[in-house]
A = this chain, B = another copy of it.
Amino acid sequence: MSKYKISLAVIKRLPKYHRCLGELKSRGVRRISSGELSKIIGFSASQIRQDLSRFGEFGQQGYGYRVNALYSEVEKILGLDKKYSTIIIGAGNIGQAIAKYNDFGNYGYELKAIFDIKKDLIGKDINGFKVMDSNNLREFIQKEDIDIAYICTNAENAIDVFNELSEAGIKGILNFARVDLQNDDNVVIENVHLVENMFKLSYFLKNKN
C-alpha cells in the first residue's frame, strides 16, 4: 500500500503494465529498463518510472527492472493474487454473453450463479448454470460470500438491483446497464458502457484528420 493518493490516470495504466510484463515474462525476458518498456508499451520512460515509484522501489540503478518480480508486484497492486466469487444479475443478452465469456474466469473471477426476475427465464440453463430467482439474491450473496456482481439488466432495473446488492453486502459491481451508478461507501462500482466506445469510434470516423 502506498503513502500517497494514487491518481486515476495512474490506476488506468496499471492493467497495461500487467499485460505487457506478462507478455515479456512468457517470452522469457528477464530484465527490462524503463526505456525499453517505453518502446513496447507506448508510455514515456519518465512516466513509467514515475508510475512505478508510486508503489515502491522496484528497479535497480544501472540495471533496470526484473520482469518476473515487477510482474508480481503489479499483480499484487491490482489485487489479482486473490480469488473472487461472482454472480450475474440479468439473464438477457449481455448476461448470457458474460456467462459464456470465460476470460474473467482465467483471472480468478469465478462465476457462481445467474439471477433473473422473469419467470420464463428462471430455471433456464446457461452454460451449465440454471438461472435463479432474484428473490433469493440476498440470501445467496450472504451464504456463498459473493464478492462481485455483474449488473446486466436494463437501465431502469439497474438502480433497484444496485440497492439490493448493496444491502446484501456485495463488495464490487461491474455495471453494464446504461446508467452511471455512483460508488457508495460500501460498494465499488465500475461502469462499462460498450456503446460509448462505439460512439467514440463514430466521432473519430466523422472527424478523421
Q: Which of A7-15, A135-143, A160-168 contacts B (4 or more CB under 8 A)?
A: A7-15
Question: B residues within 8 A CB of A12?
Answer: 196, 200
Question: B residues within 8 A CB of A189?
Answer: 201
> Could you tell me if B205 and A15 are in contact, using CB atoms closer than 8 angstroms?
no
> Could you tell me if B97 and A100 are in contact, using CB atoms closer than 8 angstroms?
yes
Min CB gap A202→B, angstroms: 4
Question: B residues within 8 A CB of A103?
Answer: 194-195
> Could you tell me if B171 and A188 are in contact, using CB atoms closer than 8 angstroms?
no
Tell whether A102 is near chain B: CB-to-CB under 8 Å.
Answer: yes
A15-B196, A194-B103 in contact; A172/B203 too (CB < 8 A)? no
> Could you tell me if A101 and B109 are in contact, using CB atoms closer than 8 angstroms?
no
Give complex CA distance A190, B204 in Å.
9
Question: B residues within 8 A CB of A203?
Answer: 11, 14, 77-79
Tell whether A3 is near chain B: CB-to-CB under 8 Å.
Answer: no
Question: B residues within 8 A CB of A98?
Answer: 97
> Could you tell me if A1 and B207 are in contact, using CB atoms closer than 8 angstroms?
yes
Taking CB atoms and an 8 Å cut-off, the chain A residues in 75-109 that contact chain B are: 77-80, 82, 84, 93-94, 96-98, 100-104, 107, 109
> Could you tell me if A197 and B178 are in contact, using CB atoms closer than 8 angstroms?
no
Give complex CA distance A97, B95 in Å.
10
Question: B residues within 8 A CB of A207?
Answer: 1, 6, 79
A–B Cβ pairs within 8 angstroms, 15 of them: A12-B196, A14-B200, A15-B196, A78-B202, A79-B203, A79-B205, A93-B97, A103-B194, A104-B198, A172-B204, A174-B201, A188-B208, A190-B198, A190-B201, A192-B194
